Amino acid sequence: MMKPVMNIDEVKMEPRPAAMQPKGSAAERYDSKVGLIAPLIGAQKLGYNITAVPPGKRAFPAHNHRVNEEMVFVLSGTGEVRIGDTTYPIRQGDFIALPPGGNEAAHVITNTGTEALRYLAVSTKMTPELVDYPDSGKFGILAELPADKDGKPQRFMFVGRAEQSLNYWEGE
C-alpha cells in the first residue's frame, strides 16, 4: 500500500520536462520547478503540487479552465495574480480561489519579488479539460488516459486556435 503521508521536506522539485520548456521569447517570461505530491501519496480526485517560480517569471501563461477548479496557497515569496482584468498582490499565507469559467476566470501568477515564489497548487482532476489562453487566442484540450502496459500514465494534449479547426467531414 502507498504511504498516504508526505512531508513538505520530501517534495522533489524538478524542472519541466524538455518538451514543456518555454522556447524563444517565452523563455524570458516563464520558468518554474514543480514538485509532485498527489500521485506519490495516492490522491485520486485532486491533484496537488508545489510550484516554485523565480523572480520576474511566471509558471504558466494566463489561462482559464472550463472544467477544473484550482486553489493556490502561497508558501513563501511575493507576487501578483491577475484574474480576468484585475490584478491582486499576493504574499505568504494567501489563499487564491480559481474557479472554472470563461475569460473572466483567466489567471496568471507572476513573481514580483526578489526570492522564489513558492505555492501549493490544488486542482480537481476532471477529464477531459478545456483550457483557454486569452492573451494568445489559443485553447488546449487535455485528457488523462489509462496507463500504458508498463503502468506509465498517458495523456492526450492538443493546443491550437479555433481558425485551425477542420470541418467534421474533412478527409472522409
Burial of 63 (0-12, 13-18, 19+ CB in 10 A): buried
What's the pLDDT score for residue 81? Answer: 98
Domain boundaries, the chain: 8-125
What's the pLDDT score for residue 19? Answer: 84
What's the pLDDT score for residue 167? Answer: 93
What's the pLDDT score for residue 120? Answer: 98
Predicted TM-score (pTM) of this structure: 0.93
Lowest-confidence segment of 12-21, 30-39, 95-104 by average pLDDT: 12-21
CATH classification code of 8-125: 2.60.120.10
pLDDT tens-digit readout, 94-153: 999 999 999 999 999 999 999 999 999 999 999 999 999 999 999 999 999 988 898 888
Query: Mean pLDDT across the stretch 69-91?
Result: 98
pLDDT tens-digit readout, 54-66: 999 999 999 999 9
Beta strands in the chain (DSSP E): 14-15, 33-36, 46-53, 64-65, 70-76, 78-83, 86-91, 95-98, 107-111, 117-124, 129-133, 138-145, 154-160
Q: Please provide the average confidence, as pLDDT, over all residues in the chain.
A: 96
> Given its phi and psi angles, is residue 93 left (phi above 0), alpha (psi -120 to 50 degrees) or beta?
left
1 pLDDT above the threshold of 80: no
CA distance 153 to 125: 14
